[in-house]
Amino acid sequence: MTPRLFVQAGLATGTVLPLPADQGHYLRTVLRLSAGAELALFNGRDGEWRATITAAGRAGVEVTPVCRTQEQAAGPDIWLLFAPLKRSPIDFVAQKVTELGADVLWPVITRHTAVRRVNLRRLRSNTVEAAEQSGRLTVPEVREPTALADVLGQWPDGRVLFFCDEPGAGGPARPAFAAAAGRPAGLLVGPEGGFARDELDAVGNRADVCRVSLGPRILRADTAALAALACWQALAGSWTDAPWAPKT
């Protein structure tokens, strides 16, 4: 399989790009590639490019874009907001929601959030790896952890916030997601301890918040995040049309 790397630099034909040490190490030492080998590059702005390794030595690895193979395209506008979890489930959530197409990952601190320290570097590197592997053309933005009240205070106009609530409290997710097809949206999943009464009261009467239920069972927070995003993609996002299907 051709390696696929996310880079920061602009991509244009013939521009030599020296790679950071970790990516150079990956190509040269882990994959044992040398000058002349092909790879794919993307940077979130210039589409996807076919490139070749033009230098691979102890001094570093350089790659040179050859031609664009895919135009940059915007994905569905969906944010995932979640109370931070322990190390292994938060890594899992970061990887999986990147594969599932989340645009923004936003850790939200709620009253019952047990884990308050978030390793943003690790979260970001998980999203980069998952973006490289899944073929997407962007890497999701990972935001600083923010208190729920501040998230609500700065919530942008026109974006609907789906508040995933314990079983039975919200309306069913399916019609709510379907009704919001085409609208920018966010999905909020709470901590293992659930939301506090006053947090529920604070969102209760906002016009831009929609409380949704993901069925009668209590899901772990990581399960709820993936279930909500998959369901939203199917009803309102990029599983509803097929721009990738072969043209007839």
Give burial (CB, 10 Å; 0-12/13-18/19+) of 100. Answer: buried
With contact defined as beta carbons under 8 Å apart, do 44 and 6 qualify? Answer: yes
- Choose the stretch contacting ligand SAH; rule: CB under 6 A; options: 12-20, 89-97, 117-125, 163-171: 163-171
The only residue of 10, 20, 156, 167 in contact with ligand SAH, by rule CB under 6 A:
167
Binds ligand SAH by CB under 6 A, chosen from 103, 195, 226, 235: 195
Q: How many residues bind ligand SAH (CB under 6 A)?
A: 18
Pick the piece of the chain touching ligand SAH (CB under 6 A) from 97-105, 135-143, 146-154, 161-169.
Answer: 161-169
- Chain-centre distance for alpha carbon 203: 24
Q: How far apart are the first and last CA of the chain?
A: 28
Please, what's the largest Cα pairwise distance for the chain?
61
Which residue in the set 57, 171, 175, 193 belongs to the binding site for ligand SAH (CB under 6 A)?
A: 193
Determine the residue type at 169: A
Residue 166, interface with ligand SAH (CB under 6 A)?
Answer: yes
The residue among 114 and 218 lying less far from ligand SAH, judged by its C-beta, is 218
Q: Please answer whether residues 201 and 148 qualify as being in contact, where contact means their C-beta atoms are separated by less than 8 angstroms.
A: no
d(CA 27, CA 40): 12
Interface with ligand SAH, residue 194, by CB under 6 A: yes
Residue 224 within binding range of ligand SAH, rule CB under 6 A: yes
Instruction: Based on the shown chain and the rule CB under 6 A, indicate whether residue 200 belongs to the binding site for ligand SAH.
Output: no
Among 102, 176, 221, 226, binds ligand SAH (CB under 6 A): 221
**222 belongs to the binding site for ligand SAH (CB under 6 A):** no
Closest CA to 79 of 56, 99, 102, 100: 102
- Region from 19-27, 64-72, 96-104, 158-166 binding ligand SAH, contact rule CB under 6 A: 158-166
Task: State the nearest-atom distance from the C-beta of 218 to ligand SAH, in Å.
Answer: 5
Q: Does 190 sit near ligand SAH (CB under 6 A)?
A: yes
Closer of 90 and 164 to ligand SAH (Cβ): 164
- Tell me which residue has tokens 């994905």: 75
Contacts of residues 152-159 at CB distance under 8 Å and 24 or more positions apart, as own/partner, are 152/202, 152/203, 152/206, 152/209, 155/186, 155/208, 156/184, 157/208, 158/183, 158/184, 158/208, 159/79, 159/183, 159/184, 159/185, 159/186, 159/208
104 contributes a contact to ligand SAH by CB under 6 A? no
109 interacts with ligand SAH by CB under 6 A: no
Which residues make up the interface to ligand SAH (CB under 6 A)? 164-167, 189-190, 192-195, 213-215, 217-219, 221, 224
